[in-house]
Amino acid sequence: MPLKELAERRNILHRKSGAETILKHVLDDVQIGRVAMVSSFGAESVVLLHMVSQIAPDTPILFLDTEMLFPETLTYQREVAELLGLTDVRIIRPSREKLLENDVDSILHTIDPDACCSLRKTQPLEEALAEFDGWITGRKRAHGGARAQLPLYEKQDRKIKVNPLASWDTAQIASYLDKHDLPRHPLVARGFTSIGCTPCTTKVAAGEDLRAGRWRGMEKSECGIHIVDGKVIRRENAA
């Protein structure tokens, strides 16, 4: 079955399903195949990580360490993985050889942020996902911009991408965190509502979009991992 048709069928099947039901299905969906979860261990990540830990704690979890993350994120990643009993967390890092060749001084983000994201995120993730047929993300329509019409299932390149929390808003996230007494990322209390690499992440003021602190002042709102029609989404196209 063509992947686009498969995604459309799953969207119809799960149009009224809860996130846990979607997760249970995708982790055992023979038509999709082998699936991994990609997690930033960011501001809201622990919700989906907790759900996965309750369903299949041996699910491969791909964590991209760009080597430019906040120290708090690295500590949080280790603590959450241990707390939830996730047994197959894979730390994905950029190629040492490519870093020495293309960003030896770690300043590429100031010159060409798209190239930096490609080097430190997109390329390593593509290599890590090569063995999988699909992947799970924590993206939500409430993030706005290009994500406002986010489907539960979508085709990206030759894989199926699944967004179980697509319909969730901030209130649902907060309620789930409270219900299960889950630890918050320490930077959330300091005003970071979306957390990426240190040089490209800032605090978000009251009333701003949740992702306003990502690549602030740049014509960019996605790292390239999540794309629309083969293109990295920029702010002027994301409203």
Q: Find out whether 148 and 237 touch, Cβ atoms under 8 Å.
A: no
**CA angle 174-179-185, nearest 5°?**
50
Give the catalytic positions in this structure: 223
Backbone phi and psi for residue 62, each to the nearest 5 degrees, phi listed first = -100, 120
Q: Find out whether 198 and 73 touch, Cβ atoms under 8 Å.
A: no
CA 159/CA 182 separation, integer angstroms = 31
Beta 153-156 vs 159-162: how paired, if at all?
Answer: antiparallel
DSSP H or E segment with residue 161: strand 159-162
Nearest to 145 by CA among 201, 214, 48: 214
